[in-house]
Each structure stands twice: as C-alpha cells, then as structure tokens.
Amino acid sequence: MEFVNRTVIGGRELEALSRGTRKTVRKRRSLIVQLLAVLVIVLNLAFAWASWRVGDSRWWLNGAVAGFLLVITLREDWFNLRLTGRYVQPDAQEVTTVFQDEGFTQTSKAASGRFSYHQIENICETSEYFLLYLDHNLGQIYSKDGFTRGTAMAFRQFISRKTGLTVRSIR
C-alpha cells in the first residue's frame, strides 16, 4: 500500500513538533528544566516579598524576573518555534512524502531524502498531525488532512506495523 502526504510547514506545525518533542523524546530533560525554573521563580518571589517587607525599593526587580521566567516556562514551545522556525528555508516549507512498503521519500523544492522505517525511533500523534522522530534532534511532521492517497486512520496502522512501534497520542 502507498500513502502520499503533502504538508505545508508553518508556525503551527513547528510548534506542534516542538511540543511533541518536549513531551516524548526529551521528556525527562524537559521535566528537570521545568522543575529548576519553578524553583528559581519561587526563590525570586520570596526575595521580592522579603525586599518589599524591609522597604527596599528594588523589590519589583525580583518580581519582574519571576514573571519573565514564568512566561518563558509556560510558552516554551512558542519560544522554541521562534528560535528554530527561522531555519526553515522557504523552499523547504512545502513537503510531499510518499510512504511505500520499503521506505519513504520526502521531497520539497529545496531537497529530497529517502528514509527507511527502522530509522524511526518514536511515533506520536496529535489531533491534527503525525510526528515521526528519527532521533532526539530530527523530527518530521505530517498533517492528517494532507493525505492525498490513503487516510490518516489507515496510515496509523500502516506506520505502526512497519516500524513495530506504538503510535502515542499526545495533546
């Protein structure tokens, strides 16, 4: 069986890929970083409160740092998108992928590449996308609405059978 998917990679796709990476491939590291961020936020709030209590006029600096870190922690995927999204070449934004029994081929105006199913280490899906991770630094995203040949439901079964991996659902 053959599946063909056409996905246009934009901000929403990159943010979904970043979220999927954080929740699966880099889950442990991300948890450690988030715990440290919460600790630093709590410490800054405690310092701001203590400074305010003794009458120091600079108490708001610690509060501002805590607020800034809170925003970064809550919007981590958005910030990752802003940092990595600029590296997507305009010619590489529209990707057509053909999944066949022996492997799959990705083609864009910028380049093309051939992959085998044993290279895939992790498979996830959201309500809108399939996410395939070849390693900790290389993820591929496919829109469920982008299938021009085959369906998303049939693809889920196909990719699971070809890789021997379970497709994990993430929000």
Q: What is the pLDDT of residues 5-55, one digit of tens each?
A: 999 988 788 778 878 877 776 667 767 878 888 899 999 999 999 999 998
- Helix (H) and strand (E) counts for the chain? 5, 9
40 is written with which tokens?
């630093």
H-helix or E-strand spanning residue 126: none
pTM of this structure: 0.69
* Those residues with Cβ within 8 angstroms of residue 94's Cβ, 6 or more apart along the chain or in another chain: 6, 7, 8, 9, 108, 109
Low-confidence ranges of the chain (pLDDT < 70): 25-27, 30, 77, 80-92
